[in-house]
Structure 1
């Protein structure tokens, strides 16, 4: 999301969407004993920051990768469900042949559609605040997987150094 939207979220109680100080905010500052000069200085500094962020939004917009709920489905879920959470026709046919009931398939679909709808609602709510929910979630997943790989490599070194088994992050017989 844009830097300006984030700026407005941070300062929206005191400032207008154009970066100018709200009259009510000025009055409140005066009532707390701030001088007009101090208020003007504060408003000027934040307006400069607003203008800088606005210029950056226009000349160098931040990338906003769009992730859908489907991007977070497991490989198995991608075989079972469509991006909207409905069960794939091929999976229904296969599941019915293997003895899974129609009722359970409908329940699976209902749950997955709720999951997709929830993701979309949260993503939209975060976007209004200038936060890319999908991107944050993807970064968490990538960080977790990187951490696991790093810990496995560190464990291999610890094992070569004959570290005690109870100090290792995983059971030494854990498959890769």
Structure 2
């Protein structure tokens, strides 16, 4: 299995280099047709092959951590009460909603949409992983950054209130809970 660094290297250089780090013949011919000498082409190929080998070695000796997140990790608390990790409705939730008069067809639609969300998340995760990108980790980092930004803005709003700023200039209503 290829490591994260090698996947990224291959993704960056796939037009010119093979998956084993060697220069493609087409790329060599193209460079030659643009006036590069054979020595310059060989030097370029050699330098990138060294980098390829170094990254391959690092992938074996010091792999990049790869935390695994599933679509379920991004469900809200309410969605976790309603849905299973695969996006299907939990039987107890379905029963309680039917007892409240919610139609079977609406519940089926909710389930269909959530399953689509899960399938899309999984497809993007697999596609990005092939390129050495951890989609789940990126999404989690984005969510964490968003929540930190919110908290920072909330703290700034408290300072603005203490300084008697005009309430209409505040980013939130002054009674917004955390």
Which TM bucket (shorter chain)?
over 0.9
User: TM-score, normalised to structure 1's length?
Assistant: 0.94
Partner of 1:119: 121
Measured on the aligned residues, the alpha-carbon RMSD in Å equals 1.3
CA distance in 1, matches of 2:116, 2:14: 33
Partner of 1:19: 21
Partner of 1:34: 36
Structure 1: where are the runs of 5+ without partners? none
| Residues 92-150 of structure 1: per-residue CA shift (max 9 Å, x gap) | 11111111111111111111111111111111111112111111111111100010011
CA distance in 1, matches of 2:10, 2:60: 16
| Residues 8-38 of structure 1: per-residue CA shift (max 9 Å, x gap) | 0100111111211112111110000011121
> Is contact 2:98–2:104 with CA below 8 Å preserved after alignment?
yes
CA distance in 2, matches of 1:43, 1:2: 21
The aligned runs of 1:84-103 (5 Å cut-off) are 84-103=86-105
| Residues 24-65 of structure 1: per-residue CA shift (max 9 Å, x gap) | 111110000011121122112111211111111011101111
Partner of 2:51: 49
User: TM-score, normalised to structure 2's length?
Assistant: 0.93
> Is contact 2:68–2:136 with CA below 8 Å preserved after alignment?
yes
Number of residue-to-residue matches in the alignment: 176
Structure 2: where are the runs of 5+ without partners? none
